[in-house]
Each structure stands twice: as structure tokens, then as C-alpha cells.
Amino acid sequence: MSTPAPSPPLPLAGVTLLDLSRILAGPVCSQILGDLGARVIKVERPGRGDDTRQWGPPFFHGQSAYFQSVNRNKWSLALDLRQPAGRQVLDDLIRRSDLLLENFLPPEVEKFGLAPGRLKQLNPALVSCSISGFGRTGPWSDRPGYDAAIQAMSGLMAITGPIDGEPSKVGVAIADVITGLYAAISLLSGLCARRAANGSDPSQAAPRAFDLSLLDCTIASLVNVAQSCLVTGENPRRFGNGHPTIVPYQTFRAADGYLMLAVGNDGQFARLCDLLGHPEWAADPRFATNPARVTHREELVPLLEALFAQATRAEWAERLTRADVPFAPVQSLGEALSLEQVAARQMVVEVDAHGNPLKLLNSPIRIEGQSPPLPTPPPDVGEHSEQVLREFLGYDAGQIRELLAAGVCGQATDTSGTSTTDDRGPSLR
């Protein structure tokens, strides 16, 4: 029997990311890079770890679902940065890492020696990224940032929610997620710049310290709506599930639930009119073009609402599919996770978490010719402390015992006090 060919290495194989972030934006970023093959060393406080470990219920064997959602493919090092010996370990990690990610407030950045100038002294080739609520410059640079507050002050809530109701936040911490994506892009661009230098003196390279703000990234995500405000000088209004500049592009109530109609051009609208038995609407000057439909939305939408209420979602699905009119049923999350398309793309996988089967979301990134690798489960606090110290930093057994005994480093234990550190995932070397 022939031996199967080994899988090609992932794009970031051999790259080490030192992850000093916690909560959501930073972990989103580091999880993306871990999915792409980077060795992510997540530094956490001994004992308690990342705050989101306690953000539940629900919990799975003591780990919150919140924490599990953004911490796959990582190694946990429990390290007390309040102690000088802990900061010395941190310096050693910085010297050996390719990338660094943190989301501390300015006093902690200085206390832990994470200012860009000092990082460059420790490791001239390091690419670093700082995430904060408002950035490292400006009058609000010392304020903490929280997703819900950022959604409120960025204008996002003002354009989200029922037309005549109160402003609404998005159902997930979208400001954090967006910032995490921008952070991943920033670190990858810095890595590309470093590789482009091709061995030149890293101390002479352009700065590779990135400064990302939740507020900046959320405002940037408002794209066309923000640009319309800049062009007109007028505040956009809420359209509920409708679209400010495309009609009909909104939800409609069917006989047994809701469906989303996404008519993006005049040809699709004409096919919709034929389907509904009103081909004359496509020639009506009020509705013939999208700008006209936007102007006369209050006349067109009630006509459509009356028709869509007369059949079920399944009936409309069959008719709209046949007519090649874009739509989707409004589904629960459980229905979405159960879709055969989601299964075919292996977006939900089951992993072994210390003998317990755990379902996780998988990375959405697919590489041609490769099946997505099975992720390693989110780690316990300090689960890989000894491995990081031994394999990555090269500490000897005596040094490791001393750090553990002094509480500078911690390791995961089960209820009996036995270490749960194991060899899940690839070696750090």
C-alpha cells in the first residue's frame, strides 16, 4: 500500500505570532493567522486567563463558548507579567517571534515594555500590531474601547434597526470582528514587507508597527453609507431591512415566515414582475429603473408585500429560483449551521478536547487542492507553558521548575491537580 503524500505546508508555516491580546478583536486576528499555519503563542494570566473564559453560559467542560469561538489553533502560556521574571520571559519571547499582537492600554504598554521603539530594540525584524478603542494618537488615546460603545458612537447603530424604532446594535460584536480582520491584514502586510527586504539590514527597514482603532475600523466599514454622508452632508436614515439605494432589496413576509429579496438590477426586476403577473410594472416610469424605484419605494413596496403574503417561503423559493431572481429565506442560526452547503465546505468540525467531542466553527479560508486541516481545540489556561518554555525558548528543566514554583508561569490542571498539558497540535519547532 502506498503512503499518502504529505499535505503541503500552510502559508504561514514557520511564522510565530506572540499573542498578548484578549477579549475579541485581537483573538479574531490571531485565530485567522493560526488557521493559516502560524504558531500562535497566547500569553494569559496564570489561573484566570483571558476574561472571555468566564463569559457564559453556555460553557463546555468549564470553557465558555465565547472563548472557544476565537481561540482554536493556539498554544496557551500562562505568564505573570507583573513579576520582573515574567517580563524577562516576555522579552525572550519577543526576541524569538516574527509577529506581535497586543491590546493593552497605554500605561500597560509602557509597563510591559511594548512601545514600538523598545520592540525594535529587542527584535529589529519584528512586525507588531496594537489594537485599542481609539488608537495611540488623538485626545481619546487613553480611553478603553468597548464594542457596543463603538457601534453607538461610530454611526453604525444610527443606521441599524427598524425605520420607526430605536437604533440597534448588530447581533455580534462586529466592531471587534472587523478590527480583527484589519489587524490580520496589517500583520500580513508587514510580514510581506519584511520578506521583500530579502536579507537587508532589518534595523534600516521601514517601521512595521501598526496602530489600529476600533472606532477607525468601524467607521471604515460603513463604506457607501459613510460616503453618501460625505457627499450630501446629510445623516442617513434607517431603512430597517431595506436598502438605502436599491429597491426592492429587503425582507418580505411570506405566509409562513420571511424571505430576503435582493433585486440588484433592472433585468432582475423585470423577471420578478413577470413572475408576479405584473409585467407592466417593469415599464411603469415609476418603477422602470432603480433610481425611479428608490424614489417611489413607498408606492412599490406595499404592492410587493401584498403579493408575497399569499404563498409560503417554499413556494416562493421554487418560483424565484426558476425565474433567476436573487433571494434567500430568513433562517435561524441553527438552520444555517445545518445547511448541506455548510457541511460540504466543512465549516463545522468536531475535535477532541481532552477526550470530549467538541464542535467548532472552522476557518472559512480554502486553499486550492488542500482540505482544511482539522483545528486544534481552544487551550486550557497554561496548557502549553512548559512546551513553550522548553521547545521555543530553549529553557532547561531547572529554569522551568523555578518559573513554575515562583508562580511566574502556570500550567493547566484538572480537578485533581494533575497537569493536563499534552502534545495536541504540531511541535513548536
Residues tagged active-site: 176
Residues 6+ apart with CB under 8 A from 296: 286, 287
The candidate with the shortest Cα–Cα distance to 25, out of 154, 159, 145, is 145
Nearest in space to 219 (alpha carbons), one of 167, 170, 146, 151:
151
Q: How far is CA 225 from CA 160, 216, 234, 336, in A?
A: 11, 15, 11, 28
What is the Cα–Cα distance from 379 to 363, expressed in whole angstroms?
17
Q: What gap in Å lies between CA 411 and CA 388, rounded to an integer?
A: 11
Helices (H) and strands (E) in the chain, counts: 17, 14
Q: Are 89 and 408 in contact (CB under 8 A)?
A: yes
Collapse the DSSP code of 368 into the 3-class scheme (helix H, G, I; strand E, B; otherwise coil) and give the result. Answer: coil
Count Cβ atoms within 10 A of the Cβ of residue 262 and give its class: 0-12 exposed, 13-18 middle, 19 or more buried: middle
**Pairwise CA distance, residues 320 & 325, whole Å:** 5
